[in-house]
Amino acid sequence: MKLIIEADGGSRGNPGVAGSGAVVLDEAGNVLVEIARYVGTATNNVAEYTALIAGLQAAIALDAGASIHVRMDSKLVIEQMGGGWKIKHPDMISLGAKVQELVRGREVTWQWIPREQNSRADALANKAMDELADSTVHVGSGESASANAGDQPAMTKSAALTEFNATLPSSVRAPGNVTEPLTTFILVRHGRTALTEAHKISGGDGDDPELSEAGRGDARAVAELIATFGKPGRFELLAAPTAIVASPMQRTRQTAGFIAEAVGLEVETLENLREIGFGDWDGHTNEEVSASDPETWNAWRGSWTIAPPNGESLEVFDKRLQEGREKVLRQHGGKTVVVVAHVMPIRGFLRWGFSATEASYWRSQVAPCSVTIIRAWGDQAAEVVAVNLTEHL
């Protein structure tokens, strides 16, 4: 028996939402199996290899002794699997090894075909991307299944993803004609310090404490969470981080270091992300400050322009922070950036993301090592995905 596989993959963003499609036919050209495989966030090449693997698994399941003829419009995959080109990219090496394992000892031939001759597999890849789910249809029997090849659990679309747009703003009320690339900010507050645990004010111009033992535990936990971005699971539609930018203070650099180790990136520092300056109040509790200078304390609360003695007002701080945000956008636009900072800088990002008033600086909770996520298209549009996520702690 001879079986024919047509396979294709696509990615909306490259990397972006990715899907694979494979069709298994008999020698007469009758379709036996159609497979749509949702890949998550990946490149075109990963999706194409995933399609090939799915097609091979289905063909072998139909007849383990059949000869197999593979047709794809991916010159890269055909040449690499046919032995003409070497595989150099790490992601491709593991996928190529999986293909070689499947075809070992079997009669397999490889053929490149023009894109227009691969429309069936292309349609299935787009189906997977549209539905964010897998499907397998045995055409001859009319049976349909949502399980992955190899009896793996089905990838189904959760309620959280139903209205999620991986490349553009999700709300239909968002501005149209968005042309700037998508930048994803993963905002992480630093872990606990001795001052945090003592409920003492800790700004950007006073003591510069290190993480406490509990704070290091916080940092390890958030690093494990950040490492899941772009992988199957809750955050698979958000691309994996490509940069880490941190405040220059010890507690943020140390927290960023745990994340950097987990995701294999270097840490950049940016002065603009330093915490707001509390001046003479730094190192004291709120109760101590309110008792020693009640007039200034009461005037400062809820004020945009009043600063602590020798400290920063919100007006001055916000200007500094927004200039820093713009620097990050210029340097890392179109990427996923982990920003490790403090309470007030993260609230400043939220103020910008929501186009909010200054009152937003005291209306959101930002816990140690919590995660806040904002997607932005330059200054054209923004989308707040999550605020103060703490379930990993």
Residue 343 near residue 247, CB atoms below 8 Å: no
Q: Which of 21-30, 86-95, 346-355 has the weakest average pLDDT?
A: 86-95
pLDDT digits (tens, 9 = 90+) for 120-137: 999 999 999 988 888 888
The answer, yes or no, to whether residue 147 has pLDDT greater than 60, is: no
Query: What value does the mean pLDDT take over residues 225-246?
Result: 88
pLDDT score recorded for residue 158: 55
Q: What gap in Å lies between CA 55 and CA 75, rounded to an integer?
A: 17
pLDDT score recorded for residue 156: 45
Identity of the amino acid at 100: Q
pLDDT score recorded for residue 24: 96
- Which is catalytic among the residues 275, 312, 332, 342? 275
Nearest to 12, CA basis, from 51, 53, 40: 40
Convert 240-300 into a string of H (helix), E (strand) and C (coil). Answer: CCCEEEECCCHHHHHHHHHHHHHHCCCEEECHHHCCCCCHHHCCCEHHHHHHHCHHHHHHH
Q: Which token pair is 255?
A: 């927290």
Domains 2-157 and 182-389 are alike in CATH topology: no
Query: What value does the mean pLDDT take over residues 339-362?
Result: 97
Is-catalytic flag, 284? no
Is-catalytic flag, 190? yes
Phi/psi for 60 (5° steps) reads -65, -35
Superfamily covering domain 182-389: Phosphoglycerate mutase-like (3.40.50.1240)
**What does the buried/exposed string (b/e) look like for 371-385 if buried means 16 or more CB atoms within 10 Å of the residue's CB?**
bbbbbbbbeebbbeb
Query: What value does the mean pLDDT take over residues 52-65?
Result: 93
User: In whole numbers, what is the pLDDT of the chain averaged over residues?
Assistant: 91
The answer, yes or no, to whether residue 389 has pLDDT greater than 80, is: yes
Q: What gap in Å lies between CA 285 and CA 129, rounded to an integer?
A: 52
Q: Which of the four pLDDT bands, split at 50, 70 and 90, describes residue 238?
A: confident
Helices (H), 293-355: 294-300, 314-332, 343-353
Nearest to 167, CA basis, from 52, 36, 49, 10: 10
Percent of the chain scoring above 70 in pLDDT = 94
Q: Domain segments of the chain: what residues?
A: 2-157, 182-389
Give the Cα-Cα-Cα angle 147, 148, 150 (nearest 5 degrees). Answer: 110
Q: Which of 11-20, 225-234, 246-255 has the weakest average pLDDT?
A: 225-234
Rg of the chain (C-alpha set): 26
Q: Is the pTM of this model over 0.75?
A: no
Phi/psi for 54 (5° steps) reads -60, -40
User: What kind and span of H or E run contains 206?
Assistant: none
Residue 244 near residue 260, CB atoms below 8 Å: yes
The answer, yes or no, to whether residue 157 has pLDDT greater than 80, is: no
Protein fold of 2-157: Nucleotidyltransferase; domain 5 (3.30.420)
Give the Cα-Cα-Cα angle 107, 112, 113 (nearest 5 degrees). Answer: 125
Q: What gap in Å lies between CA 316 and CA 299, rounded to an integer?
A: 17
The answer, yes or no, to whether residue 7 has pLDDT greater than 80, is: yes
Helices (H), 37-157: 44-62, 75-82, 90-103, 119-131
- Which is catalytic among the residues 69, 190, 332, 342? 190
pLDDT score recorded for residue 377: 94
